Structures are given as structure tokens and as C-alpha cells.
Structure 1
Amino acid sequence: MTIPAFYPIGTPGRPWGEAEVATWRSRQAVQRSYEADVLGRVDALRARLDVSEYGRLDVPPDSYPLFAIRSRSWRDELPCVLVTGGVHGYETSGVHGALQFVERHAASYDGRANLVVVPCVSPWAYERVHRWNAAALDPNRSFRRDSPVPESAALMRLVAPFRDRVLVHVDLHETTDSDESEFRPALAARDGAAYEPGEVPDGFYLVDDSEHPQPAFQQAIIAAVAKVTHIAPADAKGEIIGSPMVAPGVIEYALTRLGLCASITDAPYKTTTEVYPDSPRATPEQCNAAQATAVCSAIDFALAHHAGTPAAR
């Protein structure tokens, strides 16, 4: 059933224009610091990893440097691993899980893979704990040629020189209660559509690529993460967030058609993680650990199963 939902901006049934977007943006207050939470930790990594500024996000009066962390022992013959977090700025463990992976586990892949980690793709949204960027656009529906979203465009430019050499890409996300209380109602209001309520799954799950599925890869990640936090069950319809559950804790999306971040390379192994931080059964520490564990298990599987990598020889 479709239920009209009140949203305090705009006219029901009419998409937002510039005035509504400006009103929405004026109500987005800074709630945390990108500089304190992210940049300080990135800076501390410079002693053992290469840190480079790959772009700058200007949202006057604010300006945010965008950083990528790379293996210092980069070798052209090694496969590349891409880890992205904070495409949706409000998804906290995506950012901090990426940083935890680098801090605690990156060294174990020296000489085995070239790592590229982008811990916070959307710093403006990170500070405001929001899904959208400053123009009320979703970066994770905007990874396509001539993207109107600067956060997405900057990441694609970074990846372009090595996109064909990426073996595995793990994009770190969360599904939260605020998806239903704020973000999906806001989306319906922005687009002049009726809000159709959904069900937030309790637990961790993965999104595979429906065009190029890798079920064994996804299940290896699920098995590893299940030791850290609980895996989301299907709902009464056998679905997770409206998509059929194709295996325990796994659904599939058409990544390229939807313009999702996990589509930006031709990696044979790709996945999008979804952690549920609002569960009474999970702590913030578990959520961060689940993200880091997902990255490690994804890399380990890919290196072990892909012909030509050091681990497979």
C-alpha cells in the first residue's frame, strides 16, 4: 500500500525546484567534524602509506580536501584493490571501517596487492550526517559519465588510470533506521512521489552485481562477518529492502544501470556492504569491525581464487 508521508519541504506531488533545494540545504547543520574524525587519522598514516589529495569539494563557505590512501610498495604487476567508504556521508561505519582496515590490516597485503582506500567520498554529507550532497543529489546513484555530483565525478577521475586492473572493489555502506524516518520520505518529497514505507533489515548484508554475480565470493564474506556481527534475515516476502534474498545475507542490484559506486571498475569481484548500526545487537565497534572484516575476507578470497595473483600461484 502507498501511504502519503508528510515532509516539511515542498508541495506533495510536485518535484522540488531550486527554492526547495535551497530550503533543504539551509536546514542541514554541521554535527561532526571531517577534519577531526577523518583527516587526523589519514594524516597519521603518512609514515607508512602514500596519501594523496585527489580532489577538493567546494561548498561555499566550506572546502574539503579529498584523500586517497595507497600502498607505498606499489608494483605494477600486482592486482589492485579498491575500498571506498562514506559515499553516503551519514553511514558512519563505512568511513571508520575503511580507516580501521588500513590502520590494522593494510600491512598484511604488502607485496600481494596494491591497495587504494578512499575512506570518505562525501565529507560535506559526513559532517551533516546526511545521505545526499549539498545539491540534494545522491552520490550513489550518480557514478556515470558526466556525473552532476562532484563527489562521484572526483572518485571516477581518481580510479580511471587503474580501473581496468582492479581485482576487487568493496564499497562500505550502512542501512539505518533513518532511511525510513528521514531519507526515503525526503526522496519521495524531492521527486514529487508518494512515499512507500519499507522494512529496515536487522543485520549485515551484501549487494552483489546482478549482471556479473559472484555467489561464492559473497558467501565467503558473509561467513567471515558472521563471526563479528549477525547477518540480516529475509523478511516475510523472502526479501531484503525490497529485493529477493538470493543467498543468506545477499541480494543483487544492477550496479551499472543504477549508477552505484561498486560499478566504477571492471573488477571481477565487487560487493557493497550494508551494516545495521541501529540494532540492539550491535555496537559501533562491531559495525566498524564488520566492515574491516568484510574487506579482508573479500581480498583474501580474490587473491586465493583469481589466476595470476601471487596467492593463487
Structure 2
Amino acid sequence: MTTTLPSYPIGTPGVPWGPAEIGAWLSRQTRRRSYRADVLDAIERLRPRHDVVEYGRLDYPPDGYPLYALRSRDWRDDLPVALVTGGVHGYETSGVHGALQFAEDHAADYAGRINLVVAPCVSPWAYERIHRWNPQAVDPNRSFREDSPAPEAAALMRLVAPLRDRVLVHVDLHETTDTDESEFRPALAARDGVEFVPDGVPDGFYLVGDSENPQLEFQQAVLAAVARVARIAPADDEGRLIGSPIVVPGLIQYPVKRLGLCAGLTGARYVTTTEVYPDSPSATPEQCNAAQVAAIRAALDFALA
């Protein structure tokens, strides 16, 4: 039996979008939550304990979005650096709030051991609209490369550039949601003029490692820590997660630098991308945030051991 997938409501199947289609897509996007209330106010509460760095500004008329990172107050040039990034895809909520929760509750545990840089919301326009792309229908998490087409990625690259060779560990916080299959991947296929082929959504937490720098013991240590607070996603019937073969349970790998992913931003020895599943009937926002925090802490502890 052949199932015909519904076409995306914008564009002509098989034809990549042009300016008119991008404009039609943009006209459908509405603000659904507040970057200022959810993120900037939280950063202000953390200011007494962290150095707050404004590393850029996004001007998307009629709105402007200052970009902030938190840095260790007791920064030492003789220590390595840990980078935590959240909200590269703005709709992936626990990445943003997990980064902020780590900064509030656990950053002090690493004082004098490693310098921390936490960029909790890389894509604030998308955060407010609960979307994956920026207003140009560009995915920031495919844009970490020279002459980046995404201002969100370019700003973060400028922030990290002076520290790039000192970063020991980088944890990039993401989610895989049911809307990946119902909205975002169909939109991607329509934008690029290709056929949408569903992959399914993994039922639980998993990691994406760097296929060119696997560090399996590190990835397994992170998975073991997260397993105490969240379900680890089982492979599908073909031994895959989102179309990729599993390396060990809960882990797939991509060539992160070649794909322009945020995880390839530095030369860090220990790099991982988390993927939380917030749409499980048994998952709560608190549990999703806790899984992100557990992953960050396990990554730092392993790197420092």
C-alpha cells in the first residue's frame, strides 16, 4: 500500500522556494512567547554571579534582539574552557532553560577548575516563534561556516573565535520533537524542492557525536548520567535513530564540521549534541531541563577527570 504524504502549504512541489515563498512562510510566523521575560530576565538574575557578555545583536525589524553569554566570574587564563550552547534551534525549549538552570544551580561547582561560557539562546527570534529557522528561512544549525548566512551563527562564531583552541568540552543542547515530522522537516523539503521522506521521532533522549572525533567513552558517560533522569531512546526496527545507524545505544554520529553544525564550532576534544524528547506523555518540562543539566554536568566531569 502506498501512502501519499500531504504537500506543504507553501510553494510548488519539486521547486525550491524563492523570495515570494519565503515571504509567504514568514507571514505565517507569530510571536508566541517572550525572549525578554524568559531569557533576558533570567540572565539579569544571574548577573551578580557571572560576567554577562553582549556578543551581538540581531536586527529583525520591527524587533531587535541582544545576544548574551554568561562567563565565569573567576576566569583564569591558565584553565581550559567549557562551552555550553542552547537555543540554536529556538523552538527547542529545554536547551534554553537547561542552559540557564545549569548556570544558576551548578556553575559554581566548577569555579577554579574550568572556565565556563554559556550562550543560552542563540536564536531568540526563533525562540519567540517556536521555530527552527530565522526570518530568512535559514537554519542556524547548518550555518556554522565561513561567510555564514545566519547572523545567529556568525555572532556566536565571533564570540568563540578567540577561545576556539582552548575549548576542552562543548555541549550543544537540542530537542527532537513531534513537530520535526509534522512541520519542520516537511517545510525543509518544500523549501529545498525535494520530496519529504519521514524518519520518525525517537522516543527518548539521545546524543549526536562527531563521526570524525567519536570519543565513545565520553558519550557513554553522558548517556549513563542522563539515564538516571530520562528515558534513553531505543533504536527503531532497523537499528537507527532519525535515519542514522546507532553506534552504541542512544548515540548516533554526524560529521559535524562538514555539515556546519554548532557542535563543530571549536576544536574541542569532547563534543556532544543532546537531543531531548519533550513530547512523551510522561515527560515534563522539569524533567527535560534536568536531562540537559545532567548531560552538561556529566560532560564536564568526564573532561576534568
Normalised to the residue count of structure 2, the TM-score between the two structures is 0.98
Q: CA deviation at 1:282?
A: 1.3
Q: 1:291 is matched with which residue?
A: 292
Equivalent residue for 1:236? 237
> 1:101 maps to what in 2?
102
- Aligned pairs for 1:1-313 (under 5 A) are 3-304=4-305
Give the aligned residue type for 1:34: Y
**Amino acid corresponding to residue 61 of structure 1 in structure 2:** P
Distance 1:247 1:221 in 2: 12
User: In 2, distance between residues paired with 1:10 and 1:243?
Assistant: 29
What code does the residue aligned with 1:78 have? L
Given that 1:84 and 1:171 are in contact with CA atoms closer than 8 Å, whether structure 2 keeps it comes out as yes
Unmatched runs of 5 consecutive residues or more in structure 2: none
* Alpha-carbon contact 1:3-1:196 (below 8 Å) kept: no
Instruction: Provide, for residues 123-181 of structure 1, a one-character-per-residue CA deviation record: whole Å limited to 9, x for no partner.
Output: 00000000001100100001000001000000000000000000000000000000000
**Is there any run of 5+ residues in structure 1 with no aligned partner, and where?**
305-313
Amino acid at match of 2:172: D
Go from structure 1 to structure 2 and tell me whether the alpha carbon gap of 1:253 and 1:2 turns closer, same or farther (over 3 Å shift): farther
User: Which stretch shows the higher mean deviation, 192-201 or 85-94?
Assistant: 192-201
2:177 & 2:72 partners in 1: Cα distance?
32
- Determine the C-alpha separation between the residues in 2 that align with 1:40 and 1:104: 16
Q: Could you tell me which amino acid in structure 2 is paired with residue 254 of structure 1?
A: P
For 1:100 and 1:49, locate their aligned partners in 2 and report how far apart those are by CA, in whole Å.
Answer: 13
- Find the aligned partners of 1:34 and 1:110 in 2 and give their Cα distance: 28
1:220 aligned counterpart, secondary structure: helix
How many residue pairs are counted as aligned between the two chains? 304
Deviating above 6 A after TM superposition, structure 1's stretches of 4 or more consecutive aligned residues are none
Tell me, in whole angstroms, the C-alpha distance in 1 between the residues paired with 2:3 and 2:111.
52
CA contact (8 A) 1:2 1:197 kept: no
Q: Measure the CA separation in 1 of the matches of 2:284 and 2:121.
A: 21
| Counterparts of 1:263 and 1:186, CA distance in 2 | 25
Shift of 1:198: 1.4
- What SS does structure 1 have at the residue aligned with 2:106? helix
TM-score by length of 1: 0.96
CA RMSD of aligned residues (A): 0.9
Q: Is the 8 A contact 1:3 1:195 kept in 2?
A: no
- Give 1:281 shift: 2.3
Are the counterparts in 2 of residues 80 and 168 from structure 1 also a CA contact under 8 Å?
A: yes
1:5–1:195 CA contact under 8 A, matched in 2: no
Q: Distance in 1 between matches of 2:3 and 2:109?
A: 50
Per-residue CA shift, 1:173-205, capped at 9, x if unaligned?
000000000000000110111110111000000
The percent identity for this pair of structures is: 72
Deviation at 1:5, TM superposition (A): 3.3
Displacement of 1:3: 4.9
Tell me, in whole angstroms, the C-alpha distance in 2 between the residues paired with 1:274 and 1:110. Answer: 27
Distance 1:90 1:236 in 2: 28
State the Cα distance separating 1:2 from its structure 2 match.
8.8
Check the 8 A contact 1:234/1:240 in 2, yes or no.
yes
Partner secondary structure for residue 56 of structure 1: strand
